């Protein structure tokens, strides 16, 4: 089995090219102000042009108007809401499919994620890019009710364990394959891709 995987926090054309070459299912680009992997609209436009793979635009701390402008301008395949956007925020967006990141710490978080109006939930730690692993048991419970992308602290060495523990349909990696924030270690990226292909 080849589990779908997303390479997130991409900031360089060469990293996009390698992620495409090794078989990534999704490419993630971050536009969350004040974060180390945040890119501009112009950078996003250039990076999007490197690959035909599905693009996930990660946003947070922005207005509905700003996010809709990004959707209209960049045409991402998915928009990933990554802060505390309420349900009506997701419902107001047009022209793309919506993912929403949730930090799963309690069953109340699982309940909130299960009813949130998004196609897919990204089960993260709430500290994107921190390299910290989330609560896989809570992710498993959510995956019984809604499509889940498992994120948070995944590497080539623990992705199998996380996938098997949660039943997620896909996995997401950013900091676990980096040399520094936003700069991918191409060896680690390739190892992660190979690990996903063996699942």
Annotated catalytic sites, by residue? 8, 124
Q: How far apart are the first and last CA of the chain?
A: 5
| Ordered DSSP codes for 28-66 | EEEE-TTSTTB--HHHHHHHHTT--S-EEEEE-S--HHH
* CB hemisphere CA count around 98 (13 angstroms): 22
Residue holding tokens 């993260």?
Answer: 124
Six token digits for residue 74: 């960049």
């Amino acid at each position: 089995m080849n589990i779908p995987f997303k390479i997130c926090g991409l900031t360089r054309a060469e990293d996009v090219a390698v992620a495409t070459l090794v078989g990534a299912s999704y490419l993630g680009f971050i536009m969350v102000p004040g974060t180390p992997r945040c890119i501009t609209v112009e950078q996003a436009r250039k990076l999007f042009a490197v690959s035909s793979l599905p693009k996930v635009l990660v946003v947070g701390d922005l207005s509905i108007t700003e996010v809709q402008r990004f959707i209209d301008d960049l045409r991402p395949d998915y928009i990933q809401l990554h802060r505390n956007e309420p349900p009506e925020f997701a419902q107001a967006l047009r022209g793309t499919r919506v993912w929403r990141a949730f930090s799963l710490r309690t069953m109340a978080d699982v309940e909130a994620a299960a009813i949130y109006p998004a196609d897919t939930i990204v089960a993260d730690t709430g500290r994107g890019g921190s390299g910290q692993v989330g609560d896989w048991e809570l992710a498993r419970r959510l995956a019984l009710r809604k499509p889940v992308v498992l994120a948070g602290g995944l590497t080539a060495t623990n992705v199998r364990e996380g996938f098997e523990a949660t039943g997620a349909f896909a996995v997401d990696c950013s900091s676990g394959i980096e040399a520094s924030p936003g700069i991918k270690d191409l060896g680690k990226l390739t190892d992660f891709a190979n690990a996903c292909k063996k699942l």
